[in-house]
Every structure is written in C-alpha cells, then in structure tokens.
Chain A
Amino acid sequence: MENIIAILCDYTETDPEHIQPASRLVEDLGLTSLDLLDAVTAFEEAYGLEITDEDIKKMRTVQDIADYIQLHA
C-alpha cells in the first residue's frame, strides 16, 4: 500500500498522510482522467502489468488499485 500511495502522490499533490485506502481517486484526491491514466502507466511499469481501460473504470478508490495489483501482479 505504501508504494501505491507514493506513486499516487506524484499525481495528486497530496501529502501521503492524507491518502487512505478508502480515499476516492477523483472526489477525494482530485485526480483528473489524465492523472489517472498517468498513474496507471506508472503502476504498469512498477508491477509489470497491462491494465485495460475497462479495469481502470472499475478503480474508484486506493484500495481498488491495491486489490487489483495484488490479484494480477
């Protein structure tokens, strides 16, 4: 989770202590669609994944990303 939050921090301009597993990517962290795509490519590179557009649509919270990575990495 720490690594995921560290990557998200690069796109949200939010301090890590303000990012929780339940934080919503758009509403709470203020990520734009482009920020999210940018972050997803960073996750793909960090974890050797190929994340589809359909899977991105299902990612609403930080925990959703962690669950996806745990399942697919």
Chain B
Amino acid sequence: MHEFMISGCRLLAVTEKLPPACKETSRLLFEKLKMQGYPLTAGASLQHCHESAHAWNLLDRLLQSQNPISGSAIRPADIVRNPEGKPCIRHEPLLFSLSHCKYSCVCLLARPQSGLSGCGIDIEPVRQWPLRLARRICTPQEYHIWLQHHRDPDWITRLFTCKEAWAKACGISLMDVLQCEAKQMDVYSWKEENCWISAAVWQKAR
C-alpha cells in the first residue's frame, strides 16, 4: 500500500502481483465480477482477460475494506462507464483508476475534494524502446534528453507512465498529451520490481 500526496490531494495506491495466466481461473474470476455488477469488458485474449479480472478484483477488495480513503461501502452496481467509456463511481463519492501489465495490477483511490476532478494510474514494465516509438511518445526536447541518457529504458518507461497516467486523470486520449512535457504534469512515480508506476491528478482549478 502506497499513500502519497499530489498537489495537496491524498491518494492511495495498491499493487498486486499477478499469478501466471490460467484460462479457467481467469474465466471464473471474470464471471464472478460480472455477476457482481462490475463493468468489465471481455477482450479476445486470455492474457487481457486475466490481467483485467485481477485488477477489478483488487478494486473489489479495496472497496469492501475499511481503508482510509474509501470509507463507506460502495456497491459494484454503483460503478458505471461514462459516455467516453471510462469506468467511474455513480455520483463520484470516490475516484479510482486501474492499470495492469503482464506482471502486476494496481489500483489508485482518491477522495474527491475541492478542485480534484480526476485521477489516473499507469504501470509498465521496463522495456526497450525502438527509436521510432520513442520519438512518438517524447517531445523533441524529451527525445533529446533520452538520447543523452544513452537511451535509458528506465527513464523513458517512467516518462511514458507519466503521460498515460496524466491522460487518464484528465479523461482524454493519450495521443492528446504525447506532445506535452511530462515534467509539467502533476504526477507521482515510483518503481516496484521491474515496473514503473505513475499516478496523476487533474484539478479543475488548473
């Protein structure tokens, strides 16, 4: 469990390692969560279904626990998708964001407070970045810095998670933030094992 502040907003992030993907276990978990009322979408791949089901299961456990952020109980049926397809809690008593990768899933919780209108989280394992892909996710200045850092995979993986978390917090497409400087975003990042995780908030007053 990771508690931290971004621009005066208190947030809680919980990560969980994923077990190896198993078709039967993932299907049962997926169906259990659907039955409870969570708005999961079924991707075609077993891996996606497995990661997604575990991320939603983590959220389910957090909503049921009396952690300092969630406070009162929230029913699965209160979680809906907004017109853009982003899952949210009806009447927004609590903000949340989920992310998952092959190795772990992470859930971010925040209590709405003055000015806070969105939060987002992203987790990515450190990986190699081909030049063409790196150029696409960086501003020209960031790309230059990355080359100066000898194409450090850690540096650019973290940068990507900042932008993805920021886009999720703002409720916009990642494509709309790729040419914004990551250093200007309200983001908190940390590394767990071989994954970078970034959390971001969006405040109306900005």
User: Which residues does A use to contact B, with CB under 8 Å?
Assistant: 12-14, 18-19, 23, 27-30, 33-34, 37-38, 40-41, 44-45, 53-54, 56-57
CA A44 to CA B49, docked complex, whole Å: 29
Chain B: minimal CB distance from A28 (Å): 6
- Cα-based distance from A51 to B191 in the complex (angstroms): 32
Q: How far is B45's CA from A14's CA once the two chains are assembled, in angstroms? A: 5
Tell me the complex Cα distance, A57–B84, Å: 13
A27–B86 CA distance with the chains assembled, in angstroms:
12
**Contact partner of A34 among B45, B124, B132, B173, CB < 8 A?**
B124
Known: A27-B43, A29-B45. A57 touches B132 (CB 8 A): no
Q: How far is A12 from B178 in the complex, measured between Cα atoms in Å?
A: 22
How far in angstroms is the closest Cβ of chain B from A11? 10
Q: In the assembled complex, how far is the CB of residue A18 from the closest CB belonging to chain B, in whole angstroms?
A: 5
B148-195 interface (Cβ within 8 A of A):
160, 164, 167, 173-176, 178-179
Tell me how many residue pairs across A and B have CB atoms closer than 8 Å: 59
Tell me the chain B residues, 36-95 only, with Cβ under 8 Å from chain A: 41, 43-49, 52, 85
Query: Closest A-chain residue to B136, C-beta based?
Result: A37
Return the chain B residue nearest A51 by Cβ.
Answer: B136
Chain B residue total in the interface (Cβ 8 A): 25
Secondary structure at the A interface, as helix, strand, loop or mixed, is: helix
Contact yes or no, B47 A13, CB < 8 A = yes
Q: What A residues does B47 contact at CB under 8 A?
A: 13, 30
Q: Please, which residue of chain B has its CB at the minimum distance from the CB of A56?
A: B175
Chain B residues lying within 8 Å of A28, measured Cβ to Cβ, are 43-44
**Known contacts being A37-B133, A44-B132, is A13 close to B164, with CB within 8 Å?**
no
Contacts of B48 in A (CB 8 A): 12-13, 29-30
- CB-based contact A57/B133 at 8 Å: no
Q: How far is the CA of A12 from the CA of B45 in the complex (A)?
A: 7
Choice from B49, B132, B160 contacting A41 with Cβ under 8 Å: B132
Contacts of B179 in A (CB 8 A): 53
List A contacts of B43 (CB < 8 A): 12, 14, 27-30
What residues on B are CB-neighbors of A19 within 8 Å? 44
Among candidates B49, B130, B137, B175, residue contacting A57 with C-beta atoms closer than 8 Å: B175
How far apart sit A14 and B46, CA to CA, in the bound complex (Å)? 8
A41 and B130 within 8 A (CB): yes
